[in-house]
Structures are given as C-alpha cells and as structure tokens.
Amino acid sequence: MVKEKITRSYLETLSFSELLSLCDDFGLDIPENFDYHILVGELLEFSQESEDFDDEMDIEISQKEENTSSELTLPVSYNTTEVKLMLRNPVWGYVYWNISEADYAAISKNPSSQLFLRVCSFSEKEQVKPDDSFNIKISLSDYEQYILLPSNASFFRVDLLFAIGVSIDIVASSNILEIPQPSQVLKEYKPGKKIKMSKPVELSGMQNLLLEQYKNHRESFS
C-alpha cells in the first residue's frame, strides 16, 4: 500500500506508464483509452477516500476494543464459491469473492488453468446477454478488486471464470449492480455548452462547479 500522501503536483511529474503502475499498486483496474488527466484525477480521488476510510476504521476499531471484553474471530472462508459486487461511487465498483475448498482444489491441480473476472455491462436489468464485457486476470491468492466501471451503462455483473485452454466455465456470478443515473444537466454538460439553469442555481456557481468536475472526473459525464 502506498503510504506517502499523493498530491496532484506529484502525480503530474509521473509518466503515463508510472501512473498505470501506481494504479496497479492500489489494485485498480483501468480500461483502455483512458487519458493522462483522467488517471491523475481518479488517483487523487481514490487516495483521498482511502485515507478518510482508514481514519474512520482506526476510530471504529479503537472504540470496539474499548467496549468489547471478548474477541470475536471470523472465519477466513465460509467454504462457498461466491462473488459480491458493490458500488464504491458512481465510477468505481468493488468486487470480492470466495472460492470453496472443492473448487480451489480442482483449479489448483491443473497448472495450465487460469482465473478471470468478467465485468459485464447491461442497459436493462433483465438482460441475459450483456451489451459489453471485459476480462481481468486474477490469481488464486486474490480475493478482491476495484473496477473502474465503463460509462453509459446502467447495470453491471461480475462473473468468476475458470479457463483451461479454450474451455471456459463460469464458477460464480455476482449480484446485478445498478448505477445511479446523473441528472440530465450533468449528462449533457460539456465545456463551452450553455446550459439552461434557474437563476438561483446559476448564482450558486453551478456552471463553475460543473466545469471543475468535468476537468477532474470527465469519465462521470456522457
């Protein structure tokens, strides 16, 4: 885990390949066609939210240690094969999974086998065939992954795939995750485009706020 505080000025001294390497350190999966400035913005947001989360966890753990007289030990595995998908924010998803002892043994005994996560996107919740998908290679020792969710999709599912040669089996599938849709103003916004706003909203500085959001989080816009 990266312990140093990450700033925009520091990130802008890095090359594109170094930014991608930093994303790997965070466990972030970055789709193709992402430009330099979007990577910088996403790394800044992820770093800040991770710091806030760690601070909250430290406080919560300290309070629990003070108020709890006995320790509760949770099992490392529940011996089931399952995948869970959660929304971290409208751009990032968090997926975690567990592999049963039987499935683990079947996979590990074949040295040529491979594990993948297949991220499927849908426009309708009841769709059977995804509109699009991409794979993320994982190992048997992995159990979680952050995923940058492609834009212009309303629903996502993650499948855990076991592959030997050209043979691919779906070991488990996650829940269907619905992405909150932005307002029509946000979806249609582009720099230089005049957007009709009420006078109070205009006076609030919304135009400047949208411009700043577009610069730092362009992937959140259509």
Residue range(s) of every CATH 2.60.40.10 domain in the chain: 82-178
CB 214 within 8 A of CB 221: yes
CB 179 within 8 A of CB 87: yes
Residues above pLDDT 90, as percent of the chain? 21
pLDDT confidence of 2, banded at 50, 70, 90? Answer: very low
pLDDT in tens, 66-101: 555 455 554 555 678 999 999 887 778 999 999 998
pLDDT confidence of 132, banded at 50, 70, 90? Answer: very high
The three-state (H, E, C) secondary structure of 155-186, written as one string:
EEEEEEEEEECCEEEEEEECCCEECCCCCHHH
- Alpha carbon separation from 201 to 181, 187, 206, 211, 214 (Å, rounded): 20, 17, 6, 14, 18
| CATH number, span 82-178 | 2.60.40.10
pLDDT score of 69:
46
pLDDT confidence of 33, banded at 50, 70, 90? Answer: low
pLDDT score of 192:
60
What is the reported pTM? 0.52
Query: What average pLDDT does this structure show over 36-60?
Result: 66
